[in-house]
Amino acid sequence: MRAYEMMFVLKPDLEEEQFAETKDRLKKIIADFGGEFIRELDGWGKKRLAYAVEKYTEGIYTVWHFNGKPETVQELDRVIKISDRFLRHIIVRQDEK
């Protein structure tokens, strides 16, 4: 398994319940594909976007670290792309140090 960092920006008008549901769904995908959720970095939260995305000027930023296989990343990417709750996302493999 490889180490990954994922950052995603959720729409700011999501209810707390929808926010928690979305995070739980992503954690379940990581677990179902043999991955391991490591941690979520605190301190990001709602921030102003550099430019408007889908008429939103703010977003809820979240950064995660997890271990997984390439299939895990492909499934996360697929699910995020078809969801209407995300504004942007990126998944980056961390290099070994």
Question: Which domain covers residue 22, as residue numbers?
Answer: 2-93
Render pLDDT for 24-56 as a digit per residue (tens, 0 to 9).
999 999 999 999 999 999 778 899 999 999 999
CB 79 within 8 A of CB 21: no
Torsion sign (Cα): 18, 24, 26, 29: negative
The domain that holds 77 is classified in CATH as: 3.30.70.60
Is residue 48 within 8 A of residue 57, CB to CB? The reply is yes
Cβ pair 4, 67 in contact under 8 A: yes
The stretch 80-87 carries a mean pLDDT of 96
- d(CA 6, CA 41) in angstroms, rounded, equals 10
Distance of alpha carbon 49 from alpha carbon 52, whole angstroms: 7
Distances (CA, A) of 88 to 15, 16, 71, 91: 18, 19, 20, 11
Q: State the pTM of this model.
A: 0.88
Cα distance between residue 66 and residue 48, in whole Å: 26
Mean residue pLDDT across the chain? 93
- Structural domain count, the chain: 1
